[in-house]
Amino acid sequence: MEDKEIIAIKALDYVTDNSVIGLGTGSTANFFIKHLAKKIKNEQLNIKVVASSTVSEIEAIRNKLNLIGIDTLETLDLYVDGADEITNNLNVLKGRGYDLVKEKMLAQSADKFIIIADQSKRVAGIGENYPIPIEVLKSTWRLSKKILDKYGKGSLRKNAAGDAYAISSAGNYIFDYSFDAMPLRELHEKILTTPGVIETGIFYEITDCALIVDNGQIEVLSK
């Protein structure tokens, strides 16, 4: 079994009956969705799920989960998602999928937010392996870019075919930015206070727990 599946199965330890669970996006999160469905069926659990993206919505339906709309949600017990980068002090970078707002909304509103990842995602600092995704209003993206260009360099993300700009399910554009070196807290604040910015892929100090796997060996990082 591959590491991503091993760590997805480990996250089932945090699933409780009569709860609402947020489903993350990506290949690791897809393993979690598959095994959550098996657990619910085998143990006859009463669990509702909410999707963080169109992809996780499709996976939830394929696995016959009891899917509820994010617009009906008032509380969330647990959110489980993958990551692109994670530091030892549990700061996370996400957003290779496009749905930054929904992912952050579920992560920050959940009673417990768990990251599931393999060792390749561990970094000393956020931005080490990937640019920082930033979701922005379409109509004013040029002006948001002018402001963000004071701190780094970036451009609009293209769609998978490369023939148009990527659009989030909320209808916004996504920038990918590399920034000049500065403390993460300061960078996070500079991005989020830029007019037109809807959300960033920096998940700053909101992760409760990270389950990391390295060749089958599991490590649990907690706050």
Active site annotation includes 85: no
Type of residue at 209: C
Rg of the chain in Å (alpha carbons) = 17
Cβ neighbors of 59 (< 8 A, separation 6 or more) are: 23, 29, 30, 33, 34, 51
With CB under 6 A as the contact rule, the residue among 10, 21, 22, 26 that binds ligand 5RP is 26
In the beta sheet, which residues pair with residue 217? 214
Annotated catalytic residue within 57, 59, 85, 103: 103
The minimum distance between CB 73 and ligand 5RP, in angstroms, equals 19
110 to 149: interface string for ligand 5RP, x by CB under 6 A: ----------------------------------------
146 membership: H or E segment, kind and range: helix 141-148
Based on the shown chain and the rule CB under 6 A, indicate whether residue 194 belongs to the binding site for ligand 5RP: no
The minimum distance between CB 92 and ligand 5RP, in angstroms, equals 8
Identify which of residues 54 and 143 has a Cβ nearer to ligand 5RP in the complex. 54
Written as one string, the DSSP assignment of 149-216 is TTTEEEEEPB-TTSSSB-B-TTS-EEEEEEE-S--HHHHHHHHHTSTTEEEESEE-S---EEEEEETT
The minimum distance between CB 190 and ligand 5RP, in angstroms, equals 21
Identify which of residues 34 and 96 has a Cβ nearer to ligand 5RP in the complex. 96
The minimum distance between CB 28 and ligand 5RP, in angstroms, equals 3
Catalytic amino acids?
Answer: 103
